[in-house]
Amino acid sequence: METNLIKKRQLVKYYLILPAAVLLIGTTVIPILYMLYTSLFRLDPVVFNGKWPFIGLGNYLYLIKNDPMFWTSLARTLKFLLYTVTPQIAVGLFLATLMYREFKGKRLVQTILLFPILATPIIVAMIWKYFFDFDTGFLNLMLKNIGLQPQPWLSTKGLPLVDAIPVLGPWLVNKFSLTYAFRTICFVNFWQWTPFCFLVLYSGMTSLPSEVYEASSIDGASAWQTFRYVTLPLLSKLIIAVVFIRVIDSLKVYAQIWVLFGNAETTRVINIHLYTLGFTTSDYGMASALGVIIILLIAAFVGVTIKLGGKGNAQ
Amino acid sequence: MLNKALAAKTTRKTFFYLIIFLVALMWAFPILWIIVGSFKTDRMIISQSLNLLFKPTLTNYSRIFSTHNFGKFLVNSLLVAFGTSVIVLTTSFPASYSLSRYKTGGEMMTLGILITRIAPPAAVLMPIFIIFKNLSLINNLWALILVNISLNMSFSLLLMKSFIDEIPVSIEEAATIEGATLFQIMRKLIFPLARSGIITTSIFTFIFSWNEYLFAMVLCSSNRVKTLPVAAGDFITAYAIEWGPIFASGTLILLPILLLTFMVQRYIVKGLTVGAVK
């Protein structure tokens, strides 16, 4: 009788978790396994009967060997990470330091900074598509009003200062994606996600013991010294966590780029390339293979981070 | 001497407020400008003057609702966002309780849940599309709800768990001694005590599924089941851009998020920081 009760108690924890687990496994693990399977076939979207020719690793080999856009979009994804996450953390940290004091209107500014984090990504992209528009956009309207040249913010032209460098210019533009369009995409991402970095770093700072700041101000440390020798070391773990979260989230980017430039080759990141393979060229098998590659790359990144993090903890 | 120091202090203060003002301007102005612009005519929006003073008109709104059927899209969006939130909440609450109190599955389980949140949704676009195509669930709102459940479940589990973790176990022990069943404890004790966790989780699930674009575009593109972001996206990627209806649909989509940001700010801040700060 008693053992039955204990058994029942032990089973309860599984009953409680079951519905959520079924939903989560059913909608993540099963699709991933199915994608592994479909990536080995040449899927025909017209004759959609499941009897597809098996081509082994053919899709993977094609992507790696014969699809230059695969490598280009992969490299561009990495550039996108570098150009978005770095300024987001830097400015987020600056804003957090700036706001770490009482002043009039602080709550309002915090509310203003909260909104972009939750705003619909495609609407954010839409807002900036209007602001950056060449003929009617707000920015060029302002430039014209103060007598400056309107800029082709949404074009694939190289940035003027870089592009003007003889011989080397076009190469640099190409190598580092220094085009107006790509900068615009990075800016839109920066605008939407810097507030998140600010918010997390700010709440990290407010949870630090206030004595350390009092001590450093008594010792006569300058604002920069306090930041460099007090805030930064104490926040280092949190900063790494925010970088990690931002990298993971930046890798999910899709809607913003899609709305601004569709699948244009000069701004194509890996997610857009997958969509293009799947729904423009209707090559479901190839797109599945790319999905598998993306997941493997991210798993490798996360694995390395966890391993490095573990080492850091051990020391 | 004293005057000089005072002057320096005033300069610094002015400089500080100037930066704060620029920060506020940079993040508030674009949104305000679009909202205001949604009450202008197309001609005014694309004219070369700023038109700061104008007679507001509702033409853009009447256009998106009458000629573009935004009423239907609004209902679809609400169905998806509410449907997802209700299902995610009713399944993740008991599951998080189990994770928090029994450590079900141990560290590996938490890690596994975390991993499902890491992969970009676009990576699993193909299998989800092919599976739903096989099941003839393309252009079906349930398919979209299912995908949104998938996208939100792990975040909700971890968020809710962190809230339940904060409720002391001793309260439950006392209730057990008095003969309360597990179901009673969960319903009458934990549910009210985890209130802020439940509110936070619902807000995030609602907003994330309200904002979802990629899967909505692929799975529900027909007019009958289109959601608001997809309808707005159609305007933007169209050949001839009409800013008026775009501003109006953008304002409509941002409105609930704007309201939530002002009304339940406390919960939103907690939800955004709880995972990272830990």
Q: 3-state class of B221 per DSSP?
A: coil
* Bridge partners, residue A179, by sequence: A158
Put simply, the answer to whether A196 touches B130 (Cβ < 8 Å) is no
Considering only CB atoms, which chain A residues are within 8 Å of B20? 98, 103, 105, 109
A43 — pLDDT class (breaks 50, 70, 90) = confident
Q: 3-state class of A137 per DSSP?
A: coil
Q: Among B120, B134, B154, whose Cβ lies nearest the Cβ of A252?
A: B120
Chain A interface includes B179 (CB < 8 A): no
Chain A interface includes B106 (CB < 8 A): no
Residue type, B244: G
pLDDT for A1 equals: 45
Domains and CATH numbers, chain A: 15-314 (1.10.3720.10)
Put simply, the answer to whether B131 touches A98 (Cβ < 8 Å) is no
Burial A79-100 (b: 16+ CB within 10 A, else e): bbbebbbebbbebbbbbbbbbb
* Rounded Cα gap, residues B271 and B266, in angstroms: 9
Query: Residues, chain A, total?
Result: 315
pLDDT for A315 equals: 31
User: What are the pLDDT tens digits along chain B (278 aa)?
Assistant: 667 888 888 888 899 999 999 999 999 999 999 999 999 988 888 877 777 778 888 999 999 999 888 999 999 999 999 999 999 999 999 999 988 888 877 778 877 887 777 888 888 999 999 999 888 999 999 999 999 999 999 899 989 998 999 888 888 888 888 888 888 888 888 888 889 899 999 999 999 999 999 999 999 999 999 999 999 988 887 677 888 999 999 999 999 999 998 888 888 888 888 766 55
pLDDT for A312 equals: 44
- Phi–psi pair at A54, nearest 5 degrees: -80, 125
DSSP B33-74: HHHHHTTS-HHHHHSSS---S-----HHHHHHHHTS-HHHHH
CB A170 within 8 A of CB A158: yes
Chain A interface includes B70 (CB < 8 A): no
pLDDT for B61-120, tens place per residue? 999 999 888 999 999 999 999 999 999 999 999 999 988 888 877 778 877 887 777 888
Of B217, B36, B110, the closest CA to residue A272 belongs to B217
* pLDDT higher than threshold 60 for residue A10: yes
Kindly identify which residue of chain B lies nearest to residue A242, measuring between CA atoms.
B276
* Rounded Cα gap, residues A285 and A60, in angstroms: 10
Q: What is the DSSP letter of B190?
A: I
Which structure tokens are listed for A42?
Answer: 């040449």
Put simply, the answer to whether B94 touches A255 (Cβ < 8 Å) is no
User: Which residues are CB-neighbours of B83 under 8 A, at least 6 positions away?
Assistant: B141, B145
Considering only CB atoms, which chain B residues are within 8 Å of A13? 98, 101-102, 104
pLDDT for B276 equals: 61
Which structure tokens are listed for A44?
Answer: 């025909």
Which structure tokens are listed for A77?
Answer: 């994804």
Kindly identify which residue of chain A lies nearest to residue B246, measuring between CA atoms.
A126
Which structure tokens are listed for B204?
Answer: 């995030």
pLDDT for B9-28, tens place per residue? 888 889 999 999 999 999 99
* pLDDT higher than threshold 70 for residue A3: no
